[in-house]
Structure 1
Amino acid sequence: MRIGITPDDEYIKTEKVPGPTKEEIRTIVLSKLHIQEDDTIVDVGCGTGGLTVEFAKRCKKVYSIDVNVDAINTTKANLEKFNLSSNVEVLEEDGASALEHIDGFTRVMIGGSGGNLKDIIRIGYDKLPVGGRLVTTSIVLETATDSVEVLKELGASVEVVTLNVSRGIILKRGVMMKALNPITIVSATKV
């Protein structure tokens, strides 16, 4: 099994589901979650399953959640492709309601919320053990702002970083750097 990050072009994709989360962003998310082998992770808004795949390679148990049936099917296809289905439970459900009935998780990743971000953060943070980690990723500034606001209200130790990744395109006369969308990552430790 490959330990490094799976390249973007190896994932099964569909036009109906954005993603996967870009390779460089997945790398930083893994770092911000402080993942350990015995962790149980909830991946809310799993999309194509890019992060779910990375979590499944590294953790004891993963719950992968999305309300979009196309996202669920794409995530399942990617897990099967990489032979990583054994420790992952894929749930077609709203993030907040799923978190209500999942117990024992140590990490929460929120990449999509269906407009229910604040409730998802509150429920996820409440159920984390002390020292547990919660991370959100956002393209929209308001999502990052809402994440920080709620986590501060909850008394979490919060960190914010915005990533601006550019990838080189090889041309005849040189390398042109092409920017990807900036992504803001909000991470918190439960205190």
Structure 2
Amino acid sequence: MKDDCFIRGAVPMTKEEVRTVSLAKLQLSDAEKFLDIGTGTGSIAIEAAHLYPQLNVTTIDSNQTALDVLKQNQAKFQVENIRSILGKAPIEIEDKFDAIFVGGTGGNMTEILSWSFEQLKVGGRLVLNFILLENAFEAIDWLENNQHSFQAIQLQASHFTKLGQGHYFKPQNPVIIIETRKEE
């Protein structure tokens, strides 16, 4: 899905190229339940729900404005397999998930990582996105200290843009994507 298809408002959004890589790493084709923490505009949740109509998607965000934008995007893309929760993770939740995406932590990194591994089914995938190095390093330290194997990449996309008489590639913020699994 193209970024300009989404209703944005003043809410963070995972951009198209980063969203594509993150969704690929989540491997949702056989998943039944997916959790999106810090959903923002809901671009990850919306695209996942659209690509995989059998998927039960749950989103959590502590910002009511974000959930309002998500609902607008949900209506625009006509996806009904998303339920949203207003709250700050970690929260009480009954479900176990095949995959979890973390787009924002709200300063609760350690708690969210511990809680996410509790919420994942064995073999479940956890994918985290960061623009701040300190947050990525905190997640990497936690994963290493808790003996979880992981892969971390940095992705930066630039878009071809006209500037005066010439052209250039206008860069987006680089994003660190961390991928891990819940082992037995």
Instruction: Please report the TM-score for the alignment, with normalisation by the length of structure 2.
Output: 0.92
| Aligned with 1:165 (options 147, 152, 157) | 157
Task: Report the Cα offset of residue 154 of structure 1.
Answer: 2.8
- Partner-residue secondary structure (3-state), 1:113: coil
- For residues 54-65 of structure 1, what are the structure 2 equivalents within 5 Å? 54-59=47-52, 60-65=55-60
Determine if the alignment matches structure 1 residue 10 to structure 2 residue 2. Answer: no
Q: Hey, what's the Cα distance between the residues in 1 that align with 2:113 and 2:30? A: 23
Q: Hey, what's the Cα distance between the residues in 2 that align with 1:102 and 1:51? A: 22
Determine if the alignment matches structure 1 residue 131 to structure 2 residue 126. Answer: no
Other-structure match for 2:81: 87
- Partner-residue secondary structure (3-state), 2:122: coil
Q: Is the 8 A contact 2:31 2:98 kept in 1?
A: no
Task: Report the Cα offset of residue 153 of structure 1.
Answer: 2.7
Q: Hey, what's the Cα distance between the residues in 1 that align with 2:137 and 2:164? A: 42
Residues matched between the structures, number: 181
Cα RMSD (Å): 1.5
- Partner-residue secondary structure (3-state), 2:4: helix
Q: Is the 8 A contact 1:117 1:147 kept in 2?
A: yes
Task: Report the Cα offset of residue 66 of structure 1.
Answer: 0.2
- Partner-residue secondary structure (3-state), 1:132: strand
Q: Hey, what's the Cα distance between the residues in 2 that align with 1:47 and 1:92? A: 11
Task: Report the Cα offset of residue 12 of structure 1.
Answer: 0.7
- Partner-residue secondary structure (3-state), 1:130: strand
Q: Hey, what's the Cα distance between the residues in 2 that align with 1:127 and 1:66? A: 17
Other-structure match for 2:170: 178
Other-structure match for 2:17: 24
Amino acid at match of 2:84: V
Q: Deviations over 1:56-83 (max 9, x none)?
A: 1234110011000000100111011100
Other-structure match for 1:52: 45
Q: Hey, what's the Cα distance between the residues in 2 that align with 1:115 and 1:22? A: 22
Task: Report the Cα offset of residue 172 of structure 1.
Answer: 7.0
Q: Hey, what's the Cα distance between the residues in 1 that align with 2:147 and 2:51? A: 29
Amino acid at match of 1:58: L
Give unmatched runs, 5+ long, in structure 1.
Answer: 1-5
Q: Cα distance 1:65–1:48, how it changes in 2: closer, same or farther (>3 A)?
A: same
Amino acid at match of 2:39: C
Q: Deviations over 1:76-99 (max 9, x none)?
A: 110111000x211111011101xx
Other-structure match for 2:63: 68
Higher strand residue share = 2
Task: Report the Cα offset of residue 31 of structure 1.
Answer: 1.2
Give unmatched runs, 5+ long, in structure 2.
Answer: none
- For residues 73-152 of structure 1, what are the structure 2 equivalents within 5 Å? 73-84=68-79, 86-97=80-91, 100-152=92-144
Amino acid at match of 2:18: I
Q: Hey, what's the Cα distance between the residues in 2 that align with 1:129 and 1:13? A: 32
- Partner-residue secondary structure (3-state), 2:104: coil
Instruction: Please report the TM-score for the alignment, with normalisation by the length of structure 1.
Output: 0.89
Q: Is the 8 A contact 1:37 1:58 kept in 2?
A: no
